[in-house]
């Protein structure tokens, strides 16, 4: 059973545009969220983490978390072709198990 | 950045064969994880460990054994490999379970 649902499966945005990615957990025992980015042929690397309700911004990246609905979103402004990658949402269950969604494939068109 | 080393990078075996995938981290991290990645499935957790001698079962453990021999070393064993285990395997480590994961480069396994 998929405990983390990501949407959309794929997303195409123009260079300079805004990309918005979503992630929701169906497991009420989740307490931490991360966003990872995986370029083609590479291993995943953490982009951002969020554990508290609200918003967190780092450069062009903003992440939101609503703990009541267990929904997190990642927003990338001024998208660049180098942002083209698979974006993976990860969540920690309170038994220390960390599981991932299936990802959103982002393509930024020059 | 924390280093996680996986070996081999590529492996081809036949159905019924034995395979051992190795992972080493020298970051003094407590947690180590094994994931598999297949097209359309993101990363699926096989086994994980929070210290030498400890083993926790993940979400897709069938057909896999794991062993954490030291703080640094975590092995994944496929004793009777099947074609369904053809996949890209990632090892990852973290200081604690609420900290970021650092991934190795992955092992591409093909079971013919």
Mean pLDDT estimate for chain A: 95
Token digits for A68?
Answer: 């009541």
Residue B91 burial class via C-beta count within 10 angstroms: exposed 0-12, middle 13-18, buried 19 and up: buried
The answer to whether the CB atoms of B56 and A98 lie below 8 A apart is no
Residue-wise pLDDT tens for chain B (112 aa)? 779 999 999 999 999 999 999 999 999 999 999 999 998 778 999 999 999 999 999 999 999 999 999 999 999 999 999 999 999 999 999 998 888 999 999 999 999 9
A53 vs B22: CA distance, rounded Å: 38
Which residue from A43, A45, A102 is facing B41, i.e. has the nearest CB? A102
Per residue in A49-68, pLDDT (tens digit) is 999 999 999 999 999 999 99
B48 and A96 within 8 Å at the Cβ level: the answer is yes
pLDDT value of position B96:
87
**Predicted local distance difference test score (pLDDT) of residue B98:** 86
Q: What pLDDT, in 10s, does the model give residues A15-58? A: 999 999 999 999 989 989 999 999 999 999 999 999 999 999 99
Instruction: Look at residue A3 and tell me whether its pLDDT is greater than 80.
Output: yes
Q: Please list every residue in chain A whose beta carbon sits closer than 8 Å to the beta carbon of residue B101.
A: 34, 36, 44, 46, 90, 98
Question: Of all helices (H) and strands (E), which one includes residue A107?
Answer: strand A104-109
| Residue A110 · residue A81 · CB < 8 Å | yes
Query: What is the residue-wise DSSP string for A17-53?
Result: --EEEEEEE--TTEEEEEEEEE-TTS--EEEEEE-SS
């Amino acid at each position: 059973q998929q405990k983390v649902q990501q949407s959309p499966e794929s997303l195409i945005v123009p260079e300079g545009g805004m990309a918005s990615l979503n992630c929701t957990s169906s497991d009420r025992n989740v307490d931490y969220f991360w966003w990872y980015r995986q370029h083609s042929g590479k291993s995943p690397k953490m982009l951002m983490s969020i554990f508290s309700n609200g918003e967190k911004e780092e450069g062009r990246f903003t992440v939101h978390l609503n703990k009541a609905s267990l929904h997190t979103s990642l927003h990338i402004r001024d998208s660049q072709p180098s942002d083209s990658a698979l974006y993976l949402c990860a969540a920690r269950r309170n038994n220390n198990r960390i599981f991932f969604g299936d990802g959103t494939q982002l393509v930024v068109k020059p | 950045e924390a280093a996680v080393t996986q070996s081999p990078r590529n492996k081809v075996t036949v159905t019924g064969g034995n395979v051992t995938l190795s992972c080493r981290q020298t970051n003094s991290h407590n947690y180590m994880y094994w994931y598999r990645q297949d097209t359309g499935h993101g990363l699926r957790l096989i086994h994980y460990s929070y210290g030498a001698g400890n083993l926790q079962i993940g979400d897709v453990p069938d057909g896999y054994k794991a062993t954490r021999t030291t703080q640094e070393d975590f092995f994944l064993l496929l004793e009777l490999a099947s074609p369904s285990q053809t996949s890209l395997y990632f090892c990852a480590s973290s200081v604690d379970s609420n900290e970021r994961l650092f991934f190795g480069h992955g092992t591409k396994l093909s079971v013919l």
